[in-house]
């Protein structure tokens, strides 16, 4: 049962409402394969019946973990196979947030083209994808997010914005880009 994996009770109920009561070996195989970028293993797991919507014990899906490492071709495949672009893990983070935390502009673009919500805030500290990208100094990702109407004025729990994260981390290119775009 999914409850044996120490999943949140609400998540277990949600999985049961979708008719999913036990993760199969194949479902457990697709998540690490997606994280590691093993396309052939992801395809084999899906062909063997793995459901790309089934999360790990932290609520993270194969789509999220492929996005985290910028495996754009696997993200595309998982989206085509029914991966949910706006699914949130137990900290309220989405695949877009995972992709934006790395220098993965093509992955971010693909998620946005597939209706990823650009201004979602996580439930942990209320960060957005733009905040993750700005803090890490990923200029191309910041530009892509801003081009898709990311709101640079959103504040997190500490009152910080994407601009203040970029300033605090010495990301001058990102600072200039956000200032130019928001003026």
Phi, psi of 52 (to 5 degrees): -65, -10
Q: Where are the domains of the chain?
A: 1-84, 108-183
CATH number for the domain whose boundaries are 1-84 = 1.25.40.20
Check: CATH 3.90.1150.10 for 108-183? no
Q: Give pTM, 2 decimals.
A: 0.84
How far apart, in whole angstroms, are the C-alpha atoms of residue 31 and residue 111?
Answer: 18
Q: What is the DSSP string of 81-132?
A: TT--TT---TTS--HHHHHHTTT-HHHHHHHHHTT--TT---TTT---HHHH
Per-residue confidence in pLDDT tens, the chain, 183 aa: 444 544 455 545 554 554 545 555 555 778 788 888 889 999 998 888 888 888 887 888 899 999 999 999 999 999 999 999 999 998 999 999 999 999 999 999 999 999 999 999 999 899 999 999 999 999 999 999 999 999 999 999 999 999 999 999 999 999 999 999 887
């Amino acid at each position: 049962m999914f409850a044996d994996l120490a999943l949140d009770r609400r998540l277990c109920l949600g999985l049961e409402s979708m008719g999913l009561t036990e993760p199969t070996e194949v479902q457990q195989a697709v998540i690490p394969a997606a994280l590691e970028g093993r396309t052939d293993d992801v395809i084999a797991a899906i062909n063997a019946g793995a459901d790309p919507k089934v999360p790990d014990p932290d609520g993270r899906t194969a789509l999220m973990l492929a996005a985290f490492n910028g495996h754009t071709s696997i993200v595309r495949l998982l989206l085509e196979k029914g991966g949910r672009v706006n699914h949130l893990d137990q900290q309220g983070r989405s695949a877009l947030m995972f992709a934006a935390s790395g220098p993965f502009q093509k992955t971010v673009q693909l998620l946005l083209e597939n209706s990823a919500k650009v201004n979602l805030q996580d439930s942990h500290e209320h960060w957005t994808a733009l905040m993750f990208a700005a803090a890490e100094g990923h200029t191309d990702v910041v530009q892509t997010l801003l081009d898709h109407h990311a709101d640079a004025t959103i504040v997190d729990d500490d009152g910080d914005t994407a601009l203040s994260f970029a300033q605090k981390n010495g990301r001058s290119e990102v600072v200039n880009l956000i200032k130019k775009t928001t003026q």
